[in-house]
Amino acid sequence: MKLHEYQAKQVFADAGIPTPAAELAESVDEVLAVAEEVGYPVAVKAQVQVGGRGKAGGIKLAEGEDEAREAAEDILGMDLKGFHVDRVLVEEAVDFTNELYVGVTMDRGEGKPVTMVSTRGGVNIEEVADEDPDAIVREHVDPAFGMHPYQARKAVYEAGVDRAIANGVASVLQTLYTLWDERDGSDAEINPLMVTADDEVIAADAVMNIDEDALFRRPELAEMEDESASGDELERKADEYGFDYVRLDGDVGIIGNGAGLVMTTLDLVDHYGGSPANFLDVGGGAKADRTANALDMVFSDDNVDSVVFNIFGGITRGDEVANGINQALEQFDEIPKPVVVRLAGTNWEEGLEILNEDLVTVEETLEDAVQRAVEYAEVEA
């Protein structure tokens, strides 16, 4: 789960990391009022959860009232990479001499946390990592001990951070690690960490992503979750139903059980010349109502021309899935899109007997089912 910039900055500021004076605004008048309060020049920043906001026109600098009004009018209400902007952060523009990067994440290869420092802040850090990996200093942390203060200093010195600000940066890194650790962060990042002419450091941006699996023990962060943060209506609906769902731009709707098998079904649709419309994992032990909800999800995607429903039962039972498919389809006078079903594994024979073949096409193998769905999509399109 991602925090918005303004939320992450609040969390960072509460922990003692310096952040610019700023306030949230939802209208042009509010923008002007906040700008007056924090003092020009200000930065007007769209609060949506996408990378590259600046390049996409979601961040603008304003020297005075006219520019602030123009920025507010441009950004509020704009569509930023599919996200509607209804809030901006109005922030004092920091006069900086240098931009750094500090971050904390989980190194999955090593299976332990890693902290990072670079003097190449202010740019896309993933590009820096690709082009010049040595420009980012990495210091792994033993999760049983936490980050020792010397480790923060070591990372900062190795990165070549100027001595005058080294202690300040080390202190920010240490605090960032503690926050990441105590709040079950998946990623915590400050890019850029700005350095001012009088050698102060200040977090000009803030990223804080929380491990979804740990939200149960972080209620104060769970309540910050922005339900509208997912730009896609169907992805929000999938959250309500409790499905793992990703919308894609093809026309073959895909429902299956188990992440690996659903991914494989997507790949096969592509392999046989079709184009997948979505990833939808109904999960293990899917009962009739979940099956019906899954079909409802895929039918409500206008791009979908046909559906392939692929279940390999382990704990999921073929007869229950078949009942769910029948129930979901019997309520239609006309089936909205052709559905191809393939059942295998636990109780697949019972499932096939139950399935109403007036409503669905049944195929015995995964390959045949996918090819049939691809053919249907071509006819419908």
Partner 1 sequence: MSVLVDDDTRVIVQGITGGEGNFHAEQMIEYGTDVVAGAVPGKGGQEVHGVPVYDTVEQAAREEDADASVVFVPPAFAGDAVFEALDAPIDLAVAITEGIPTQDMATVNKRLGEVDTRLIGPNCPGIITPGEAKLGILPGNIFSAGSVGLVSRSGTLTYQVVDTLNDRGMGQTTAIGIGGDPIIGTDFVDALELFEADEDTEAVVMCGEIGGEDEEEAAKYIGEHMDTPVAGFIAGRTAPPGKRMGHAGAIVSGSGTGTAESKIDALNDAGVPVGDTPGEVADHIEDLL
Rounded Cα distance between 128 and 130, Å, is 5
Number of C-beta neighbours around residue 381 at 10 A: 10
Query: What span, in angstroms and rounded, lies between the C-alpha atoms of 57 and 55?
Result: 5
* CB nearer partner 1, residue 33 or residue 315: 315
Cross-sheet strand order for the sheet of 42-46: 22-25, 88-92, 42-46, 59-62
Q: Which is nearer to partner 1, 160 or 314 (CB)?
A: 314
Catalytic choice (189, 245, 320, 363): 189
Q: Is 101 a catalytic residue?
A: yes
Between 186 and 303, CB nearer to partner 1:
186
- Taking the complex as a whole, the smallest distance from the CB of residue 379 to partner 1 amounts, in Å, to 22
Q: Output the smallest distance, CB 206 to partner 1, in A.
A: 18
Q: Judge whether 40 counts as a catalytic residue.
A: no
Interior/surface letters 222-244, b for 16+ CB within 10 angstroms, e for the rest:
eebeeeebbbeebeebbeeeebe
CB 192 → partner 1: shortest distance, Å?
18
Q: Residue 74 CB, nearest distance to partner 1 (Å)?
A: 26
Query: For residue 128, what are its two tokens?
Result: 């820096």
- Among residues 219 and 260, whose Cβ is nearest to partner 1? 260
User: CA angle at residue 46 from 30 to 115, to 5 degrees?
Assistant: 125
Which residue is catalytic, options 6, 92, 101, 376? 101
From the CB of 270, what's the least distance to partner 1, in Å? 5
Q: Which residues lie closer than 8 Å to 108 by C-beta, 6 or more apart? A: none
Locate tokens 């309540």: which residue? 223
The footprint of partner 1 (CB under 8 A) covers 51, 106, 108-109, 111-113, 126-127, 129-130, 142-144, 181, 184, 186, 211, 213-214, 216-217, 244, 246, 248, 256-264, 266-271, 276, 279, 281, 284, 312-315, 344-346, 366-367
Which residue lies nearer to partner 1 by CB, 60 or 183? 183
Shortest Cβ distance from residue 145 to partner 1 (Å)? 9
**Measured from the CB atom, is 162 or 232 closer to partner 1?**
232
Minimum distance from residue 368 beta carbon to partner 1 (Å): 11
Phi, psi of 196 (to 5 degrees): -95, 170
How far, in Å, CA of 106 to CA of 180, rounded?
Answer: 10
Question: Annotated catalytic sites, by residue?
Answer: 101, 189
